[in-house]
Amino acid sequence: MSRLAPYRHLFSLPGTRAFTAGNLLARLPMGMFTVSAVVMIAGARDSYALAGAVTAAGLAATAVVAPWTARLVDRYGQARVALPATVFAALGSLALLLCVRYGAPDWTLFASYAATATTPNTGGMSRARWAHLLAGDAKALHTANSFEQAADELCFMLGPVLAAFLCGTFFPEAGTLTGVVLLLAGMVLFTSRRATEPPVAAQLPARAPLRAPGIAPLLVVCLAMGAVFGATEVVTLAFADTQGRSAAAGVVLGLQAAGSCAAGLLYGTVRLDGPASSRLPWCLAAMAALLTLPLLAASATGSLPLLAVALLVAGMATAPAMVTTMTLVQQRTPAGRLNEGMTLAVTGLLGGIACGSAIGGWTVEHMTPTAGYTTPVAAAVTALLLSLPTAASPRPVPGTPTRT
């Protein structure tokens, strides 16, 4: 039970349970919308190519719009910006649903889905609240960041399963409709908890997070880490398909997320010594090493159950690497612009996921799904090499609280 003491401490703070419940409710649809859109569009238009293109365009729009939304959140506050931005994104999802259902031209699907790019970075806003509440308490902040990473994994593990169930059991639009309701309800609950909201700075620091010392190298590391996730997903889908077990791919990938979720919760209870910058290369080295297990399982046995076990173990390296990366982003982002800094990191991850998906898909098509598992290993090694310069911590950003 002593292992749970750090988490009991977190949620004994006034208001933390309420804002966490709202944030989790709003975060769950992030794992639902893509799957729901693909099922809905492919079913109505009989084209997975169109469905993939629409969702890819939405991802690109998010990469452009999300940092600007986060900057507005930092400037005017979470409640004033996040809720209107969420309402606009929800209208985009509903517009997509109507355009698909009533046979609108293809370009309307792209326009509608692009409008969902205003969805705020819910995980980033939650981490910003923890950073505000736990300023000066590095140990508790580490636990909070670990919890948030576990929550991310849980939502992206359950979201696609829930979306597929709703769309398959009821009607193709059920996943999107449910996601919109959850997103709006969760954001209303989250933003109404004003007591835990970080105060708005009288004036934002002139230096943008992207120009802060040490941030740019971290974003490049995020790009490489995203490639790990994108490539693993595509290659696993292809591997399961070659065995005639496509339906099992979601369960296999869910086990990888489950491994990361469990590791994240455990990592939050570990007492850490030394700066986060020195831990990041070790975390990425563990990721690269463990990612060889799926490659070995696929090449040596060709067994999907053994691959699932290998991905479960490999996933355990994800959370420590992500928690350490986000801790460094918090440390190096100028005070008052934390939402923007963390959203830039998420944008880097999204860009890496897109690149990893493309490279993994090319490898599978021109070689074999088994060979495709070399792609996430190569991406993890690249992330490790890119992280080595970050071990030398840059000078603290003026106005940024010092945390370890």
Q: Residue type for 105, please?
A: P
Strand, helix or coil for residue 267: helix
Across the chain, mean pLDDT equals: 86
Asked whether the domain spanning 209-398 has the same topology as the one spanning 16-139+152-200, the reply is: yes
pLDDT of residue 2: 67
Taking CA atoms, 297 is separated from 58, 283, 328, in Å, by: 34, 22, 34
pLDDT of residue 270: 83
Distance in Å from the first CA to the final CA of the chain: 26
Residues 200-221 as b or e (16 or more Cβ within 10 Å = b): eeeebbebbbeebebbebbbbb
pTM confidence score: 0.80
pLDDT of residue 392: 56
Q: Which residues contact 6 (CB under 8 A, 6 or more apart)?
A: 139, 140, 143, 268, 269
Low-confidence ranges of the chain (pLDDT < 50): 1, 395-404
Q: Which CATH architecture has domain 209-398?
A: Up-down Bundle (1.20)
What are the residue ranges spanned by the domains of the chain? 16-139+152-200, 209-398
Q: Look at the block and give the residue holding tokens 């399982």.
A: 297
pLDDT of residue 391: 60
pLDDT of residue 386: 92
Alpha-carbon span 355 to 237, nearest angstrom: 16
Q: Which two tokens stand for residue 106?
A: 């293809």
DSSP conformation letters of 278-319: HHHHHHHHHHHHHTHHHHHHHHHT--HHHHHHHHHHHHTTHH
Q: Look at the block and give the residue holding tokens 């070790």.
A: 282
Percent of the chain exceeding pLDDT 70 equals 94
pLDDT of residue 396: 46
Alpha-carbon span 343 to 69, nearest angstrom: 9
Under CATH, what is the fold of the domain 16-139+152-200?
Growth Hormone; Chain: A; (1.20.1250)
Alpha-carbon span 404 to 393, nearest angstrom: 11
Q: What is the pLDDT of residues 330-369, one digit of tens each?
A: 888 887 778 888 888 888 888 888 788 788 888 887 888 8
